[in-house]
């Protein structure tokens, strides 16, 4: 998973990064609220770690902005020295899902991150995932369409699974490259486009189909699906 950490203390940020990476996640660090906000306008993350006291803003203001402008669902953990009940209430009321008081214990942080990610992305733990005519067999990295196996490479499988698990969600190009090739890999932008093009053909994810990959100019890709379209439709009065 892809995590963003915001804290004005470089040593604290390094500790958060280390905990996240040791748990198998990639972690991007930010010293100022404005820097994180700028990145969130063009990048996507699976979880946010946010400090309260920042040089240019307050943590609750950043959280409210995320909930109003970016995502109502991305898990957020407050990490702060503030321990008063009123602060905890304000932090959670601003939109955070959890609240940790410094000094942070690495094991506890790992456990809280894992717990939030399990709740936010429950499909990740299942062995067989079904989406309409598609079945993902996580034990063998296999894909079936209409009951027939589709021959895909490991990277094509990983890319397809990421898109299907995030149906209806905009995923940035860097997010997808990171998931498929790894955090430190140097991958040309065209490589991602080539893999997406192959998936469109292999899995019939073209425009006009019930499941279709849409390219979002200047940002990345989104898998449109029947269930996400229904969720966006207003209910009849």
Sheet holding 128-131, edge to edge: 128-131, 134-137, 142-145, 148-150
Boundary-marking domain end, from 99, 120, 141: 120
Please tell me the total count of domains within the chain.
2
Same domain, 135 and 31: no
The β-bridge relationship of strands 212-216 and 171-172 is unpaired
Strands 76-80 and 47-50 come out as parallel
Q: Quick one: 47 and 30 in the same domain?
A: yes
Check whether residue 17 and residue 112 sit in a common domain: yes
The answer to whether the beta carbons of residues 99 and 93 sit under 8 Å apart is: no
Domain span including residue 79: 2-120
- What is the C-alpha to C-alpha distance for residues 182 and 21, in angstroms, rounded to an integer? 12
Q: What pLDDT is attached to residue 138? A: 87
Is 237 domain-assigned?
A: no
Distance of CA 225 to the CA centre of its chain: 18
237 vs 29 pLDDT, higher one: 29
Residue 103 sits in the same domain as residue 202 = no
Q: What is the pLDDT of residues 178-202, one digit of tens each?
A: 999 887 667 776 899 999 999 999 9
pLDDT tens digits for range 41-76? 988 999 999 999 999 999 999 999 999 999 999 999
| CATH, residue 80 | 3.40.50.2300
Asked whether residue 68 is assigned to any structural domain, the reply reads yes
Query: Which backbone phi and psi does 27 adopt, to 5 degrees?
Result: -135, 125
């Amino acid at each position: 998973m892809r995590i963003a950490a915001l804290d004005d203390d470089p040593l604290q940020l390094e500790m958060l990064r280390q905990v996240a990476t040791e748990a198998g996640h990639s972690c991007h660090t930010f010293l100022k609220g404005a820097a994180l906000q700028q990145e969130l306008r063009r990048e996507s993350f699976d979880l946010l770690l946010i400090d309260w006291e920042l040089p240019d803003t307050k943590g609750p203001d950043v959280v409210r902005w995320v909930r109003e402008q970016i995502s109502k669902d991305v898990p957020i953990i407050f990490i702060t020295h503030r321990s008063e009940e009123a602060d905890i209430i304000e932090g959670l009321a601003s939109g955070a899902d959890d609240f940790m008081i410094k000094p942070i214990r690495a094991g506890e942080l790992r456990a809280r991150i894992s717990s939030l990610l399990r709740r936010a992305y429950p499909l990740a733990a299942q062995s067989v995932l079904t989406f309409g005519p598609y079945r993902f067999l996580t034990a063998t990295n296999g894909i079936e369409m209409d009951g027939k196996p589709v021959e895909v490479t490991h990277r094509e499988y990983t890319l397809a699974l990421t898109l299907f698990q995030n149906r209806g969600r905009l995923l940035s190009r860097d997010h997808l490259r990171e998931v498929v090739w790894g955090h430190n890999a140097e991958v040309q932008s065209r490589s991602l486009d080539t893999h997406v093009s192959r998936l469109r053909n292999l899995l019939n994810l073209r425009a006009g189909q019930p499941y279709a990959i849409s390219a979002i100019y200047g940002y990345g890709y989104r898998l449109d699906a029947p269930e996400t379209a229904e969720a966006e439709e207003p209910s009849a009065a």
